[in-house]
Amino acid sequence: MWKKKRIMLLVSCMLLFTFLMACKAENVETGQEGGLNNGKIATEKFADRQKSEIGDSDKVESGSGNARNQMNSEAEVKIKKLEEASVKEAKSKQTEEASAKEAKSKQTEEASVKDTKSKQTKQASGKGDKTKETKEIADNGAKTKQAKEASAKETKSKQTKEASGKGDKTKETKEAAAYIDKTNKTQKDKVMNVANVKDKTNFYGIEFTEDSEIFARIKGKSYKDNCTVPVCDLRYLHVLHIGFDGETHEGEIVCHKLIAEDLLEIFEELYNAKYPIEKIKLVDEYNADDEASMAANNSSSFNFRFISYTKKISKHGYGLAMDINTLYNPYVKTVNGQLSIEPANAAEYVDRSKDFPHKIDENDLAYKLFVSHGFEWGGAWKNSKDYQHFEVPDSVVKKLSY
Residue ranges with strand state E in 145-285 = 190-191, 204-207, 234-242, 248-256
- Please write the tens of the pLDDT for every residue from 358-371: 999 999 999 999 99
- Please write the tens of the pLDDT for every residue from 300-319: 999 999 887 788 899 999 99
Residue 67 pLDDT grade (very low, low, confident, very high; cuts 50, 70, 90): very low
Q: What is the C-alpha to C-alpha distance for residues 208 and 188, in angstroms, rounded to an integer?
A: 8
Domain ranges of the chain: 172-398
Mean pLDDT of all residues belonging to the chain? 77
Model pLDDT, residue 100: 65
Residue 18 pLDDT greater than 60, yes or no: yes
- Please write the tens of the pLDDT for every residue from 166-183: 445 455 555 555 545 544
Model pLDDT, residue 19: 67
Residue ranges with strand state E in 248-342 = 248-256, 321-323, 331-335, 338-342
- Quick one: which of 385, 259, 268, 264 has its CA closest to 334? 385
Report yes or no on whether pTM surpasses 0.75.
no
Residue 122 pLDDT greater than 50, yes or no: yes
- Please write the tens of the pLDDT for every residue from 41-62: 444 554 455 444 444 444 434 4
Q: What is the C-alpha to C-alpha distance for residues 384 and 402, in angstroms, rounded to an integer?
A: 26
Q: Is the peptide bond before 343 cis (omega within 30 degrees of 0)?
A: yes
Largest Cα separation within the chain, whole Å, is: 204
Q: What is the C-alpha to C-alpha distance for residues 402 and 399, in angstroms, rounded to an integer?
A: 9
